[in-house]
Structure 1
Amino acid sequence: MTESTVRFQARMYMFDLDNCAQEYWFKGHEGWNLCLASSEQKAELERRYHPTMSAKGLPEDLIQLYRLVSTGLIKANPKVIPTDHSEQMSPAPEFLIAFNQNRLR
């Protein structure tokens, strides 16, 4: 993907995250956690947490998307610092998944 396509996809993903947070009545101190995941990890995160938002793509595009979205989340709500889930991240990711670790299913 080109740089502009990844930026556009990041803006759309941020828009969807904002809509989902409003739909599920996120409080001011709640935010999203991001993780680069394989399909098995995605299924596990979706089983444990609700709501989740995911985007599928090529690993190199997902890494760029992860960086842009995490930067955008910090800019949107500087009080909420997303926790790093690098121990859970897949070396060859298939999905970028956002979840709130405080909202268990």
Structure 2
Amino acid sequence: MNYELTIALKPDLAAEKSKKIFAEVAEAVGKAGGKTEKVESLGVKNLAYPIKGLPQASFGRFQLEIEPANVNALRRGLEKEEDFLRVFVVEVKGGGKSNKF
């Protein structure tokens, strides 16, 4: 099935560290039996409310193809990472790929 994974990272991470995290996420998807179709950095955005005391977060979005049974394990594994503020996973319905990507 197709999913969209959005991660919110600490906003003060260096560009190299963010790229490394994106690569680690893609690797985690592969280990969970999935495939990363597309990766997009959305940059630093202001938050509607602070998360862990931070008013901003750096966002990344991934388009995935992964079995539904593996999604929760992937999400839980990513949530344990120190630099992650939030992890969102949404199923993409209606033919597979998200139009906004």
TM over 0.5: no
Instruction: Bin the TM-score by the shorter chain.
Output: 0.3 to 0.5
Structure number having the greater strand percentage: 2
Structure number having the greater helix percentage: 1
Q: TM-score, normalization: structure 1? A: 0.34
Q: TM-score, normalization: structure 2? A: 0.35
